[in-house]
Structure formats: C-alpha cells, structure tokens
A and B are shown apart, each in its own frame.
Chain A
Amino acid sequence: MIEPMDRNLALELVRVTEAAALAAARLMGRRDRDAADQAAVDAMRYTLSSMEIDGTVVIGEGEKGETPMLYVGERVGKGTPPAVDVAVDPIDGVTLLANGRPGALSVVAVAERHTLFSTHLAYMDKIAVGPKARGAININAPVQENLRRIADAEGRDVDELTVVMLDRPRHERLIKEVKEAGARIKLISEGDVAPGIMAAMEEDTGIDVLMGIGGSPEAVLIACALKCLGGDMQCRLWPRDERERQLLAEEGRDLDRIFTVDDLCRGDNVFVAVTGITDGELLRGVRYTGGYARTTSLMMRSISGGVRWMEAKHDLKRLREIAGPRYEGVKHRQAHR
C-alpha cells in the first residue's frame, strides 16, 4: 500500500504572501516604510491565523515587546498539527517598495518544529549557487577559486558567470576580487532573497552566484528555498560591531563555523511561498485592473522538489466582503498621511 501524500503547505502559504503583497502594494512609492510594513504584517498575520498549523515564528518582525505582531516566539495558525517553525519576511526590500523600485517581494517559509536556525546577529557572509554547482563552493577559499570551481561545475567560463551582491561599502574588496576573477557583477541596493532564489534555480535566470554579507534571517529563508531547489550555500556569522561580537560569545557560537543549507534549515519537509510586490526579475508585482488585482507567486516544497508558479486574479470587492479592508492597506495609508 502506498501512503498518500500529505498536505502541501506551500499551496496554502501562498495566500499568506499574496495577502501581504496585496496590502503592501497599495503603499508603493509613498516613501513610508513603516506604513507599508504594517500593512503587510497585518494582512500576513490575518491569513496565517486560518492556516491549520501549530506554528511558532522563529524569524519575524523583531523580538517580543519590540513589535506587536509576528514577533519571534509568537504562535501562529490554528494550533492544530503539524507543529512547525515559521519564518516570515512580509516585505523583503521595504525601501524598494517605499520608493517604487523593482524587486520588493513577500516571503514565508515553514519547516518542522525546531529545524530553522536563528541568531541575534544581524548579518551573515554568504555564498549560494544552483544545483549544478553543488559541492563546488567553500566560503573559506579565495573568491577566484570559488568562481573557477563553480564555472567548471556548470561547464562554462568564469567570465560567463554573473555574481550578485548588495551594493555596500563593505563589499569593495569582494567586488575587486570578482572583477579580477573575470566574472560579471550585479549590484543590488536591497533584498537578497530573490537573487538567492534566482542563483539556485536550474533555469537561466541571469544570476549564477550570490555572494557577500547580507541579513541572517534572509540567509535562513534562502536556505529553505535552496532545500527545495537543490542548490548549495555556505554562510558565516558576521558581527558588525563590538556588541554583536559579545552576542556571538553569548550565543556560544564561533566565527569560523561554516553554516551549510542543512545547518540553517535542518528540516526535511520545507515549504516556501513568495509573492511579488513591485515588479522584479523573479516575479511580477501586484497589478490593479478595475476591481481586480493580479499577483504572481512562486511556491516550493522540499520533499517533492516541485516548483509551482502561480498567477492569481483577486476580486477585490468579494475579498472586502470576507476580510474587510485588510488586503487594501487603506488604514495604513490614512494613518501615516
């Protein structure tokens, strides 16, 4: 007898990222990051509450007391099994959204309870690649060597690789080394989750490698996606100041410790959903067309390795009947006028 497959939570999670995107997109280009974030958090929290999970937020909007919703440790969902860790980033790229720039998206990952990594340190040094270059990376090796090995694994030359990294002063040396190695560079102002996912995709997304120092929560979200897509990543904690060096000691962690995909996401049953807020290279943003809104999303699951792309047409009037103004970000627009 073959066991029937269990639920694919990614298909339910997409409603959570869609809701956050629909609410946040109303605040595009209004230069109000807080309002946009609040709108996304409210909508995400609302949709999470009807999911049949016993969820604990492990990556959220902040610590309990700092933030009223989606704080670390908050219980979400209906409280029925399965017990899961929940990692949320209601808006990855909130400044992009506030300025109407491309690439803002909403992302949520779910994995078995106690399987997602969390740290109080804000940053990690990362290197991430797709399935073909699995096993070819070593974060301790020189940049040139990593790129050569990735190019070899993918059967092409280093100068055909595109490396994406955040455009930060701290990356000056990294940029120089990638240039010397001969690879192309793509600098982004914010939001490394989407480029991390694009680097991991087997198809030609235009991004081959993600490198450099970015957020630790984002590293975990990328790891969840890599678990589904079959890519590879190595990370190291990167304390930005003396206080974080102390935190490192308090957490009993080691600067030299290399975190692999399995360290950041130990689960075997991992689900990820992503919805575009502003137009981006991975996903299209929210579009409004007279009473309707269109969203574009991506869903992944580790066990089946299945990737689903979804375009949804939302009837805004009927949504309002069900959910009130939650998907519209209206309250937040007015509150922060």
Chain B
Amino acid sequence: MSDGPGRDLALELVRVTEAAALAAGRWMGRGRKEPGDEAAVAAMRLMLATVEIEGVVVIGEGEKDEAPMLFNGEIVGNGMGPRMDVAVDPVEGTALLAHGRPDAIAVIAIAPQGTMWSPGPAFYMDKLVVGRDAREAISPANLRAPVAETLAAIAGAKHRPVEDLTVFVLDKPRHAKLIADVRAAGARVLLRTDGDVAGALMAATPGSGVDVLMGIGGTPEGVIAACAVRALGGAMLGQLAPQKPGERAAVIAAGLDIDLVLFERDLVRSDDVFFAATGITDGALMPGVRYTGEGATTDSIVMRGKSGTVRTIHAEHRLEKVMHLGPKAY
C-alpha cells in the first residue's frame, strides 16, 4: 500500500505567519518599529509550538543574548516531527509597517536540518533573482557584469524588450549607481525602502509585476528568499557584500568566502523546503491584514519545494473565536 504524498508542512506554517501578521497588523503606521515586531514574534512563537517538527531556529531575531524569543539556536515546534532548520522573519520590513508602507510581510521557511546556509557574521549580500522563465539566462558572472548586459539576457529569455522588464531595487544610497544603470538600460524600476524578501518573492513569481531583483540586502533575508525561489523554480545568485564597519574582517575571520557566488541551491541545500508568507500591510504580492469589527482577513502564499505546489490563501478569522484559543495579542 502506498504511503501517500507526504506531509505539506507549508499548510501548517501558514497559521504561523497569519498569527504574526494578525498581531503585527495592529501596529501599522504607528511610527514605531519595535512593538509590531514584538507582537509578531510572540504570536509566531506561540503558533510555531503547534507545528509538528523538531525545529532549530537558524535564522531568527538575533543571538540568544540579544533576542528573548526566536533567537538563533532556539528549539521550536512540538518536537514530534522531522528535524528541521527554521528561518523566520516575523515582520519583514519593520519600517514599512511602522510607516504604513506597502509590502510588510510575515515569513517563515523550513528545510531539513543542516541544509540552510549559515550567514554567521555576514549582514549583507549582493543578490540577483529571476523567475523560472529566465533561469537559464543568468550565471555567476552576472553579479559583476554590466547591468545592461544582465538585463538584456533576462529580457531575451523572456522574449521581450528590456523596456518591458521591472527591476526591484532597495532605495538605498549604496544603490545609486545600480539604479542609474538600470534606468540607462531602459528597464523600469520598483524602488522600495525595505523588504527584499518580498522583492525576491515577486521576482520569482510569474505575473507578479516584478521580473528581477538586484542589489545588496540582508544575508539572512537572502537565505529565506532562497527557500521561496527554490520552491518557485526560479534562480537566485548571492555573494557576500560587507557594508558595515568591521563586517568584512568578521566575515573573513569566520572563514566565509567573499568571492564565492552562491546559488539558491547552495543557500538551501534541499528541495524538501517549505515556505509561508502573510501580508501585514497591503502590497503588490498580497493584501495586508484587514480588520472588520468581528474579525480580520489575511492573505498568504505558501509553497512546498518538493511538489512545486504554490497556494494562495485568503483567510477569514473570527477574532472572538480565536481569542479563546490564542493570545490576546491578536
């Protein structure tokens, strides 16, 4: 007799990101980053305790002494299922949330133990992300090649002119040249102040309106994004790009190779990967949390790498009923 198709943990993970989003959504536009993040962390951690995994946080809120919950190394899950690496970002884009800007999301990714790349002291990473249809168009050389050349290759694979491409770039001073180069190449630019996991997710999702993600963002975010890119069948390149004072020395001291170009399959070395994201503020990917008086609605996207199944979930939560079960944090 057959054992069936195996478990889709992504379907359990969506409750984790929904909980984080419901808690964080209350803090939209209130000007402060910390309370929204704290609320999301608490809700995420509570719900994560129900997921049937023996999980270890490998990408969390920080080191044990600086983060009370979901710190790196914390054991999560109900301890009964498979051993998994867990990467979380309860509020991806805390500044977006604090200022009521689009595309703040709650995200989580899990993969078999030992398969997620460990960023160590590396804060920053140069990234290039495309969807499935442009997979074959990019190679490690593209992280150093002229932007126009890379965009031309991507446009070629997509059978359209460069003018029809939209490139997601974080709006940071370090990207002044990159943005100028993209503009000079003729592509459209989507500038966002924060949130390059959402950007990577869009770049890897066909029909999202974003075709490419370029530029330097967080290394931990790069690992989370790689999980989604892998499940979506897209391609991602990443190379450490130290920006903070002392970061380069720390990265080298930790034995990390600054010249090495990592693919999505290096950043997460298994296709048995699960990913879930829930919108907190309205965004291009999905609507944010809406409160209705009696409850709230959330919109999420979940994926399973092995099967390639991608699900979007619109949930109607009745807060009155959920309260009996969960934290007042909602």
Q: Please report A residues at the B interface, Cβ cutoff 8 Å.
A: 2-8, 11-12, 14-15, 19, 46-52, 303-315, 317-319, 322-323
Contacts and interface: CB of A to CB of B under 8 A. Distances in A.
25 contacts: A2-B326, A4-B46, A4-B326, A5-B325, A7-B12, A8-B12, A12-B12, A46-B5, A50-B7, A51-B4, A52-B52, A305-B295, A306-B317, A307-B316, A308-B316, A309-B314, A309-B315, A310-B312, A312-B309, A312-B311, A314-B307, A315-B309, A318-B307, A319-B308, A323-B5
Contacts of A308: 313-316
A243 B322 CA distance: 47
B318 interface: yes
A41 to B, nearest CB: 14
Given A4-B49, A8-B15, A315 B315 contact: no
Contacts of B8: 12, 15
Given A7-B50, A315-B307, A49 B313 contact: no
Interface string B54-74: 000000000000000000000
Nearest to B11: A11
A322 B2 CA distance: 11
Interface in B272-301: 295
A303 B5 contact: no
A48 B313 CA distance: 21
Contacts of A48: 4
Contacts of A310: 311-314
B325 to A, nearest CB: 5
Closest A-B pairs by Cβ, 7 of them: A50-B4, A315-B308, A305-B318, A49-B4, A11-B11, A305-B321, A318-B308
B324 to A, nearest CB: 8
Interface string B112-138: 000000000000000000000000000
B182 interface: no
Contacts of B325: 3, 5, 303-304
Given A46-B4, A48-B4, A307-B316, A5 B307 contact: no
A15 B6 CA distance: 11
B49 A304 contact: no
A11 B310 contact: no
Nearest to A80: B80
Contacts of B12: 7-8, 11-12
Name the residue among B5, B310, B321 with the largest chain A CB count within 10 angstroms.
Answer: B5
Given A50-B5, A312-B311, A322-B306, 14 more contacts: A4-B49, A5-B47, A7-B52, A12-B7, A12-B8, A15-B11, A19-B5, A49-B1, A50-B6, A308-B313, A310-B313, A312-B312, A318-B308, A323-B5
A330 to B, nearest CB: 16
B79 interface: no
A2 B323 CA distance: 10
Nearest to B206: A313
B263 to A, nearest CB: 19
Contacts of A12: 7-8, 11-12
B309 A304 contact: no
B175 to A, nearest CB: 32
A52 B12 CA distance: 13
B161 interface: no
A320 B230 CA distance: 18
Given A304-B318, A315-B309, A322 B327 contact: no
Contact of B50 (A4, A19, A303): A4
A2 B327 contact: yes
B111 interface: no
B322 A304 contact: yes
B198 interface: no
B259 interface: no
A311 B309 CA distance: 10
Contacts of A306: 315-318, 321-322
Contacts of B49: 4
A307 B306 CA distance: 27
